[in-house]
């Protein structure tokens, strides 16, 4: 696989706590939402692909086994929103609320 986040995929990702991992995924989703709102589909798609790559790294992280159901559901709902017909009717705002919680958790630790 050709990773966009080569350093993270090489093992650095597994050094991050769950909240840090999800905050990073959220950053890419923020980019995807922003580019989509600007009508830049190609950039939005790239940011979405990077988010899925990071989410897949979290799914593969053995420490997240207890959260596997949530991670897989998030992946499914993101794909539904950004690639398919948005059957779950998620909104950019709902994704921002979801991922901001992780960002706030990370900031609170520092």
- Ranges of each domain in the chain: 17-109
Sign of the CA dihedral running 78, 83, 88, 91: positive
Q: How confident is the model at residue 8 (pLDDT cuts 50, 70, 90)?
A: low
pTM (predicted TM-score)? 0.88
pLDDT at 82 over 70: yes
Q: What is the residue whose two structure tokens read 């959260």?
A: 67
Instruction: Compare 67 and 1 and report the one with higher pLDDT.
Output: 67
Cα–Cα dist 107/21, whole Å: 13
- For residues 8-31, average pLDDT: 89
Output the CA angle 43-83-31, nearest 5 degrees: 35
Using one digit for the tens of pLDDT, what is the confidence trace for 25-76? Answer: 999 999 999 999 999 999 999 999 999 999 999 999 999 999 999 999 999 9
């Amino acid at each position: 696989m050709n990773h966009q986040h080569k350093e993270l995929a090489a093992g650095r990702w597994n050094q991050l706590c769950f909240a840090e991992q999800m905050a990073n995924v959220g950053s890419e989703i923020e980019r995807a939402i922003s580019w989509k709102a600007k009508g830049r589909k190609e950039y939005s798609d790239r940011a979405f692909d990077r988010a899925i790559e990071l989410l897949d790294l979290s799914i593969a992280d053995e420490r997240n086994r207890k959260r596997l159901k949530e991670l897989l559901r998030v992946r499914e709902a993101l794909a539904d929103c950004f690639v398919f017909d948005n059957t779950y009717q998620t909104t950019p705002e709902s994704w921002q609320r979801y991922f901001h919680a992780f960002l706030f958790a990370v900031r609170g630790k520092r």
